[in-house]
Every structure is written in C-alpha cells, then in structure tokens.
Chains A and B, each alone.
Chain A
Amino acid sequence: MDRNSNVYTIVYAAILTVVVAVVLAFVHSSLESKMAANEKLATQKDILRSVGLVDLPDAAAVYEKTIKGLVIDAKGNTVEGIDATSISMAAEFKKPEAEQLHPLFIYSGEDGTNKYILPIFGNGLWDKIWGYVAVESDMNTIAGIAMDHKGETPGLGAEIKDNPKQYNDPYIGTKLYNEQGEYVAVSMVKGGVKDKEHQVDAISGATITSDGVNEMMYRGVGYYLPYFKSQQTQTSSK
C-alpha cells in the first residue's frame, strides 16, 4: 500500500484519533469516581486543617460531626435552602460582587467553642489559589488558615500548602481589625515582620503568590464582615 497517499494518511489519522479518544474516555470514566472522591475529601481536609485538625485517620467522619455549613449573600444575610458545599467558589468569583454568594462553615468543637471558617478565593501566579480562614468566636482573631492552589510552582508558591508550619501557622493569633477598629486583615510582607498582629513573613521567591494571598485574604474575608456585624448586633441586643 502507498503510505504517502492522501487517502491512507487521512484514514490513518482518523483511526488513530478514534482509538486514542476511546482509550482516554475509558480511562477517565473508570477513574472518574475515584478522582471526584479525592477532590471532595481534599476540600473537607482543607476545612478541618484551618482549625488545626490535621492528619486525621477519618477526616470525612470528623467533618460530618463538627462542621455545619451556611450560605450568605453579599449583604451578609443568610440564604436558606442552599447547601454550602455545593457552592463553587470559582463560579462565584466570576460574578459581580453584589450577586456573589459566600459559603460559611461553622466549626463546633467538643469543648463547646465555635469557630467561623471563611472560604477565600483568588489568583496566584499561574492559576487559582484558595484557602479557608478560621476565625475565633470574637470575630477578630484568626484561629488558623489552610491554603491550597491549582498550579503554583512546587517549592515556591506551592509552599502556601506544602509548608504550613512556615506560612500558615504564623497567621494564628493575628487580628482582622486594628486598634482603631478598622478592617486591615493580615498581609504577607517582605523584609521582616514589624506588626505581629497584622503581618506575617512572605514566601521568598514567590512574590506574586504572596501578593495574591494578600489580595485574596483582604477581599475574601471582607465579604463576611457584614455577616459578622449582624451577628454582633444580635448578640449585644440580647
């Protein structure tokens, strides 16, 4: 057969494409449920990680027991009838701010304390980054943070997830509001921390990821301030 004829080339390419498509589709569909389960478990682990629960043997069960989700709108009002876990942060991120919905998770510890877990979402250097900020019941002190990313550089930007000791733990105990009661959040800074309540060390070699974390933190936590305000007025009027 003439291997250089047009007909042969076209038929060959067509058959090859079909074979490859079938193989890939088969592999994908046979692994799909496993991949989805991994994603879900990773989210639950991230949420638990923000309140300091790491390396749990049975994260899914602990999650069921301690975490309750609710949804708020841009004005801080609770929205009924939507499952907090069904909200895609990536999809909300694209909407105008006034229409965005924000999931909020409340952790109830065995000692009776509550912590608010606020999902935040933004852009890193290569792709999306996101995180969960746990706030104490005073709605000011950060109890912990867990961050994750889609494609930051391993060893540099990816350290926000891979090196929690250095880049997540310093957030613990920092405050969202300054002494005048203004919202300032917490930033990663270069060249040494001067204000321990509102600054942590940035990642060397990952300036854009650090900037992305700061932006995501300030804007993301900001969405929940109206809700916190309404909660505070409720408790003080009681």
Chain B
Amino acid sequence: MSEVQTAAKQPTQLLGKKERRLLTDPFNDNNPITVQVLGICSALAVTVAVKNALVMSIAVMVVTGFANLIISLLRNTIPNRVRMIVQLVVIASLVSIVEMILHAFQYDVYKQMSVYIGLIITNCIIMGRLEAFAMANKPWQSLLDGIGNGVGYGAILVTVALFREVFGKGTIMGYKVLPSWYEPNGLMLIPAAAIFLIGIIIWVQRAMNKKLVDIS
C-alpha cells in the first residue's frame, strides 16, 4: 500500500520512475498470475495455442487499461455502497465492446475465442486492479497500472501456451516446429498441464527472486 500512497502524492510525470514501475512491477514482483494468483481459470483455458493466448492477452490488456482509466476518472463521484456494481458495469460494457469489435473485424479469432472473451468480465485481475489501484489513484497512473497488469498476465499466458503448443502439438502458431518423429504429448492439451506449468513458473520465479518468498 505504501507504493499506492506515494504515487498519489507525486506530481504527475508522463513516464517518471514511479510510472515505469507501474508498468514493470506486474511483470515480475507483482505478477497477477504468479504472485497474486488471480486469473488462473482463463490461464488454464486459453493456453492450448499461442494465438489464442495472444488475442486473449491483448483483449485483457485493453479492458484492464480502459477500465482502470474510466474508474479512476469517476473515482471521486462513485457512491461507496454501489462501487463494485459500478466497476462491474464498466468492465462488462468494455468487454462487450471488445467482443463486438472482434466480431466485426476479426471474425475468425472471435469464433475461436467466443466463450472466453465474454468470460473476461469475470477475470479477477481486472476487478482486483480497480479496487486496489484505480479507486485511489490518478487516471494516467491507473491506465499504466492496467496496461502493466495486462502485459504481466499476457506474458505468463503466452509462456504457458508456448510450452503447451510445442509439446502438445509440435507447432507454434500453427506452424510445425518439431520433427515428425516427435509424438505429441496429449497431457499438454488438457487444462491440468497448464496448472503444472504455472506451478513450475512460480517455482522458478521464486528461486530467482528472493523478495517474493517472504510475501506468502
């Protein structure tokens, strides 16, 4: 929380040290998936193929960024008792807009992802950032925080998807990368593989970053 308070006192800088940390923190020290352990369900569901993971990450990034921005702009007017409902309404409308834009301009991707695009609404990362950050910080910082968290989420998603697609199908983005003698590992295609991979990523991350070990 100390970071949150000092950020509010600082004069607004376009990309000062604090602002850069907002973007980079979610990448490692405060990653939404591996440190906050949020948004796991979608990380299990859409990481079978790299392309799906990429589109999902971009969609989530757009929604976290704009939801943070809008809630931060409204933060001084929102009635306290209905603040969660207001946040949800904003998230849901943004997700609907993203869904319609994909439907109109990226129909193939929309068809592939349909269920999970709608389910971005229930992604805890977004709600979590609104409550923890956007309600107490200025719009610009909130936008950066949202984008940072979207990128942090996407980085894990794409990493997991990379392993699952390579070992599960022998392809990356649909292109064959492993020789034909490689027998695809069916385990990688089922969601359980993602939880193993995320577990391994958390393990590696904690082994390298001692700061994280004390948190939990």
Are these two chains actual partners, yes or no? yes
Proximity string of chain A (154-173) to chain B, C-beta cutoff 8 Å, 1 when within and 0 when not: 11101001100000000000
Contact B82 A27 (CB under 8 A): no
**Which chain B residue shows the least CB distance to A166?**
B169
Q: Which one of A12-20, A87-95, A97-105 is at the interface?
A: A12-20
Contact B79 A205 (CB under 8 A): no
Contact B49 A154 (CB under 8 A): yes
Q: Which of A12-48 contact B (CB under 8 A)?
A: 12-13, 16-17, 20, 23-24, 27-28, 31, 34-35, 38, 42
Question: Pick the contact of A13 from B82, B113, B114 — CB < 8 Å?
Answer: B82
Question: Pick the contact of B113 from A38, A154, A156, A161 — CB < 8 Å?
Answer: A154
25 pairs, A vs B, C-beta closer than 8 Å: A3-B79, A9-B81, A12-B82, A13-B79, A13-B82, A20-B89, A24-B96, A31-B101, A31-B104, A34-B105, A35-B100, A38-B107, A42-B107, A148-B111, A151-B114, A153-B48, A154-B46, A154-B48, A155-B168, A155-B189, A158-B112, A161-B111, A204-B186, A204-B189, A205-B190
Contact A20 B52 (CB under 8 A): no
Contact B82 A155 (CB under 8 A): no
Which range contains the number of A residues in contact with the other chain? 20 to 34
Min CB gap A163→B, angstroms: 9
Proximity string of chain B (33-59) to chain A, C-beta cutoff 8 Å, 1 when within and 0 when not: 000000000000110110010000000
Q: Inside 8 A of B201's CB, which chain A residues have their CB?
A: none
Min CB gap A114→B, angstroms: 30
B78 at the interface (CB under 8 A from A): yes
Q: Inside 8 A of B48's CB, which chain A residues have their CB?
A: 153-156
Min CB gap B192→A, angstroms: 10
Complex-state Cα separation, A9 to B103, whole angstroms? 35
Min CB gap A90→B, angstroms: 15
Q: Inside 8 A of A31's CB, which chain B residues have their CB?
A: 100-101, 103-104
Min CB gap A166→B, angstroms: 10
Q: A12-B78, A162-B112 are in contact. List 15 more A-B contacts (CB 8 A).
A: A13-B82, A23-B93, A27-B96, A31-B100, A31-B101, A31-B103, A35-B103, A35-B104, A126-B115, A153-B48, A154-B116, A155-B48, A155-B49, A155-B168, A161-B111
B97 at the interface (CB under 8 A from A): yes
Proximity string of chain A (186-207) to chain B, C-beta cutoff 8 Å, 1 when within and 0 when not: 0000000000000000001100
Chain A contact residues, majority secondary structure: helix
**Which chain A residue shows the least CB distance to B46?**
A154
Complex-state Cα separation, A148 to B108, whole angstroms? 11
Contact B186 A20 (CB under 8 A): no
A150 at the interface (CB under 8 A from B): yes
Q: Inside 8 A of A27's CB, which chain B residues have their CB?
A: 96-97, 100-101
Proximity string of chain A (104-124) to chain B, C-beta cutoff 8 Å, 1 when within and 0 when not: 000000000000000000000
A4 at the interface (CB under 8 A from B): yes
B86 at the interface (CB under 8 A from A): yes
Q: Inside 8 A of A161's CB, which chain B residues have their CB?
A: 111
Complex-state Cα separation, A204 to B190, whole angstroms? 9
**Which chain B residue shows the least CB distance to A9?**
B79
**Which chain A residue shows the least CB distance to B103?**
A35
Complex-state Cα separation, A93 to B139, whole angstroms? 50
Q: Inside 8 A of A13's CB, which chain B residues have their CB?
A: 79, 82, 85-86
